[in-house]
Amino acid sequence: LLQEAMQREDLSRLRRIGLRQALVSSLVDQARGVEAEQESQRLIDEARSALGADSRAMFGYWNVRAIALAAAGRPEQAVEILDNLLAWPDLSPGV
């Protein structure tokens, strides 16, 4: 259903990105890690294009990407992403 919904032409770009994020989570829940990892890369590419690489909204999309990588059996890459997220200025002490 999520994939069908993403094909609708009347969706805004941000709505489509949100649906893609939900799809990644659904694939992880279904133990379809490889598909989730592939879809999460599309999520990052689309969100980065729409929002910019430095957008605060990217934080959540990168987190979903890390979860998908872990589900796909690539925990080292997931940890690398999470480490990078922890270094974001908005998460620094005193901010």
pLDDT at 95 over 90: no
pLDDT at 77 over 80: yes
Residue 92's pLDDT band, with cuts at 50, 70 and 90, is low
CA distances from 31 to 26, 58, 62, 66 (A): 9, 24, 19, 15
% of the chain surpassing 70 pLDDT? 93
Cα 88 from Cα 81, distance rounded (Å): 11
pLDDT tens figures, 28-63: 999 999 999 999 999 999 999 999 988 888 999 999
